[in-house]
Structure 1
Amino acid sequence: MAMRLKTHWFKPEQPKTPEQNAGAIGFIVWRVARNMLDRMRKAGFDIDVGVPYFAFMREVLAFLVQVADRLAYARLDAASRAAFTTALVLRCADYLEENEGDLLGPVEAGAPSYRERFIDLCNELSAHYAEFGFGDDGPDFGFRRYLGSRVEPLLPEKDRRWVLDQVMDIEVPEAVTLVTRGMDGVFSTEPRPRRASALGAD
């Protein structure tokens, strides 16, 4: 069953701040990352609940933040794009903080929080992903392969032979399509289409 996303504001014609848009995209990105994890499991990859689960989620979220940032390039000026991407990172970090804390418990005293770890990861990887291209067809080969190379060591040995093909050729195109659709909807200023019931349809 195709993943359904709510992508339109209630009143899209009213201007939204970069932070408001980032909040909406953050929820979409979180759901898309969860969807990718579920699809990987259904394809036979062992991603156990607990530490492996969140290690995978962090990498995918960091990748999708970069995808959203590239898509924002065509929609926002430099200052608004920076504000959007910063707010998006923080929103995803909040989701991780809440979910990791609930499942894994608090971090050790003096250790970085789950939130801080994700922010640090995004800061580190943004420079790496910046080396790769992103065109009309989405992330280029290097962009996609870099995610696969980071996910590969997180999986059991038996799964590592197949993970690059799965991530690059199957999971990334699906995820990028969903995030692109989300960005198109969230940034649209067109009135929302009326539901069939509102039109008097059966």
Structure 2
Amino acid sequence: MAVRIKSKWHHTKRKGNLRGGRKKTLEDRANVLAHNIWKIAFASYKHLEEEKFKFDTGPQITLALTEIVAFLIQVADRTVFGQINEEDRKTMVEVLGKQLAATIDDNLTELLGAGDYRKSFIDTLNQRFQSYAQCAYGDEGPEYSFLRLFGDSLAQAMAAANNKWVVEYVMEIEAPLALKLLYKTVAEVLGVKAPQLS
């Protein structure tokens, strides 16, 4: 999965540029992380499509993207746990949720017309965060229960289509590809240690 990750700041001193002006805040970094999470999630969706997994409708695509985003936010949160203080961690997750809700809303409004897509997205995020909180996450990243929940949730989002092997595929192939990109981004943007996947 080829995704161009933005993790470096522009180096000129033009007006409004962070290097030439103010120091990068946690919110600035979280916004960059949110942008990259969206790119990774969309690339994962496209990769699933290229592998002939079927998405029947726009809403089904939305549900799948929401599940991928929820997984990636939760992994980012678990990765920074213990490496940044709790207040900063809470701020990071809030900024990620709000920024990605706005991205989802913009994309769905363009695709499907006006609607309240943010609320549905945030509701799903909150439900998944409660579920992922029960799953194991170790030094090497998400453990079996975590990956299984992701695979099951994504398979459920794709239920209208005939996708017999999606859970196994997501757990064994898609999740590791997305995690490799996410860990690189989290480490570079937030300056924390992240698991190294080969």
TM over 0.5: yes
CA deviation profile, 1:117-174 (whole Å, cap 9, x unmatched): 1111111211110111222221111101101111112324521x20111110001011
The within-5 A match list for 1:114-133 is 114-133=117-136
Which portions of structure 1, spanning 4 or more consecutive aligned residues, are displaced by more than 6 angstroms? Answer: 11-14
CA deviation profile, 1:17-70 (whole Å, cap 9, x unmatched): 221111000000000000100110111101245111111111111111101111
Q: Distance in 2 between matches of 1:10 and 1:135?
A: 34
Moved more, 163-172 or 68-77: 68-77
Establish whether residue 66 from structure 1 lines up as the match of residue 70 from structure 2: no
**Is the partner of 1:158 in helix, strand or coil?**
coil
Mark the CA change 1:16 to 1:170 in structure 2 (over 3 Å): closer, same or farther.
Answer: same
Q: Distance in 2 between matches of 1:157 and 1:39?
A: 16
2:94 counterpart (77, 86, 90): 86
More contact order relative to length (CA 8 Å, sep ≥ 6):
1
The within-5 A match list for 1:159-198 is 159=163, 161-188=164-191
The within-5 A match list for 1:103-122 is 103-107=111-115, 113-122=116-125
- How many residue pairs were aligned? 183
Unaligned runs of 5+ in 1: 108-112, 190-202
Q: Say what the alpha-carbon RMSD is for the aligned residues.
A: 2.0
Q: Distance in 1 between matches of 2:186 and 2:9?
A: 11
CA contact (8 A) 2:34 2:99 kept: yes
Establish whether residue 158 from structure 1 lines up as the match of residue 166 from structure 2: no
CA deviation profile, 1:73-106 (whole Å, cap 9, x unmatched): 1431011100111111111101000000110111
Q: Distance in 1 between matches of 2:9 and 2:187?
A: 11
Q: Distance in 2 between matches of 1:6 and 1:154?
A: 29
Identity across the alignment (%): 30
Moved more, 96-105 or 136-145: 136-145
Q: Distance in 1 between matches of 2:186 and 2:155?
A: 28
Deviation at 1:15, TM superposition (A): 4.7
Larger radius of gyration: 1
Establish whether residue 52 from structure 1 lines up as the match of residue 60 from structure 2: yes
